[in-house]
Amino acid sequence: MIYPGLDIIFLFLLTAGIVFLIGLWIYYDRRDSQRETEGRHDVIYHCIKCGHIYTGVHGSEECDCPKCGFCNGRLQF
């Protein structure tokens, strides 16, 4: 029976570890980019009456403040 040498075992474990780390890197990169694109569609509002900053749905120009109910226009940068 042929037994692999210590250098072959080390090379196999090193390759498996590198493949595992690259897999984790790809997984977390895709997960973070998905979370980032979901947050881009929110619109930011600033209440003139109470000073509360809040978000609304994508595409709306005006939204009621959840704190005081005043209708505010969206912030534009």
Percent of the chain with pLDDT over 90: 39
Q: How confident is the model at residue 39 (pLDDT cuts 50, 70, 90)?
A: low
Higher-pLDDT residue of 34, 14: 14
Domain residue spans in the chain? 1-40, 41-77
The rounded mean pLDDT for the chain is: 88
Q: What is the pLDDT of residues 45-69, one digit of tens each?
A: 889 899 898 888 777 788 899 999 8
Give the DSSP letter string of the chain. Answer: -PPPPHHHHHHHHHHHHHHHHHHHHHHHHHHHHHHHHHHTT-EEEE-TTT--EEEE-TT-SEEE-TTT--EEEBP--
pLDDT at 20 over 90: yes
